[in-house]
Amino acid sequence: MIRITLFLILLLAATPVIKAQPFGKLVQKMPGIVSYTMRESFSKDVPGTLDKIKAWGITDIEFSSLFGKTAPELRALLDQRGLHASSYGVSYDAIAQKPDSILKNAKALGVKYIRIGSIPHKTAATLEIMQNAVDVFNRFGKQAHEKGIMFCYHNHGFEFQPYENGTLFDYLVTKTNPDYVGYEMDVTWTYLPGQDPAALLTKYPKRFRLIHLKDVEKGVAHSDKGGMSNEQSVILGTGQIDWPAVLKAARKTSIDHFYIEDESKAAEEQVPKSLAYLKSL
């Protein structure tokens, strides 16, 4: 018995460990996808859309809607396919007015993050808007933290109004509790308002937890409006964004999930090409 055990130990020690191959050299893990990319398909056929996503090799999804399903129903569909939801996108009003309901859905989905896409505004960003947001973010972030979930704010362009020696986005970051509030960078809505996404990632390496990989067609003018036409959302690497610089900076941050977000109506044709580009870097 001792000889057999010793033989097995020696055999295991001599067996080479096979490591999982990275997705690519610069982007080492297969990116996830934002459900908004497939919004039209999801609105018609949730199971079929999940099958399309799985066929691309993507297993990680950020949901910005439940698409008519309950959270447990959607979780079951994901589990059946070996997929998972890592982030749940909701509205500013939802976290301010019905946090318990949001947290219940998030726990049912099994997500690690809850994020909102913007702060309601009818004017350019003001200090008062950001002060109110700081209160909402810190309060909900603490509630989420107590449930084992991290709250993140997704920038949408308007936050980069000048303020003191920086911007109102800087104010938002510095006034929110880092234990309770993280950030999701939307690369396009950082770049179009005139910011350098790589530099911003470097400035706040511990605060960014999620990132939307979205490119913008060449020739589109800079703007802080946080919107563009569908056809201006293009295959990664064919637009204005310096992806090698952004992704090199992102690797030195606390970003946990990289999501492709393609707003084009041709997203189903473009996503595989974006994946191929990321893999090639």
Q: What percent of the chain has pLDDT over 70?
A: 93
Domain holding 149, by residue range, is: 25-280
- CATH of residue 233's domain is 3.20.20.150
pLDDT above 80 for 173: yes
pLDDT above 80 for 12: no
Rounded mean pLDDT, 249-269: 97
Place of tokens 């913008």: 216
**Cα dihedral sign, 192-196-201-203:** negative
Comparing 197 with 17, the larger pLDDT belongs to: 197
pLDDT above 90 for 232: yes
pLDDT above 70 for 6: no
Whether residue 52 is contained in a domain is answered as yes
Q: Which pLDDT score, from 0 to 100, does residue 5 have?
A: 46
Q: What is d(CA 191, CA 213) in angstroms, rounded to the nearest whole number?
A: 12
pLDDT above 80 for 159: yes
* Each residue's pLDDT tens digit, 118-146: 999 988 899 999 999 999 999 999 999 99
Q: What is d(CA 3, CA 216) in angstroms, rounded to the nearest whole number?
A: 65
Tell me if residue 209 falls in helix, strand or coil: strand
Q: What is d(CA 219, CA 132) in angstroms, rounded to the nearest whole number?
A: 36
* Each residue's pLDDT tens digit, 69-84: 999 999 999 999 999 9
Q: What angle do CA 111, 189, 222 make, to 5 degrees?
A: 175
| Contacts with 278 (C-beta within 8 Å, 6 or more apart), sequence order | 23, 24, 26, 27, 31, 213, 236, 243, 247
Whether residue 15 is contained in a domain is answered as no
Q: Which pLDDT score, from 0 to 100, does residue 21 have?
A: 76
Q: Which pLDDT score, from 0 to 100, does residue 80 have?
A: 98
Whether residue 17 is contained in a domain is answered as no
Whether residue 187 is contained in a domain is answered as yes
- Identify the CA nearest to 37 among candidates 269, 262, 268: 262
Distances in Å between the Cα of 101 and the Cα atoms of 104, 260, 272 are 5, 27, 35
Q: Which pLDDT score, from 0 to 100, does residue 34 have?
A: 98
Q: Which pLDDT score, from 0 to 100, does residue 19 have?
A: 55
How confident is residue 194, by pLDDT bands cut at 50, 70 and 90? very high
Comparing 162 with 6, the larger pLDDT belongs to: 162
Whether residue 19 is contained in a domain is answered as no
pLDDT above 70 for 15: no
Whether residue 114 is contained in a domain is answered as yes
How confident is residue 11, by pLDDT bands cut at 50, 70 and 90? very low
pLDDT above 70 for 253: yes
| Contacts with 79 (C-beta within 8 Å, 6 or more apart), sequence order | none
What total number of domains does the chain contain? 1
How confident is residue 225, by pLDDT bands cut at 50, 70 and 90? confident
Q: Which pLDDT score, from 0 to 100, does residue 245 have?
A: 98
pLDDT above 90 for 244: yes
Rounded mean pLDDT, 211-238: 95
The mean pLDDT value of the chain amounts to 94
Distances in Å between the Cα of 110 and the Cα atoms of 74, 83, 84, 238, 244 are 11, 11, 8, 35, 32
Whether the CB-CB separation of 180 and 138 falls below 8 Å is answered with yes
pLDDT above 50 for 193: yes
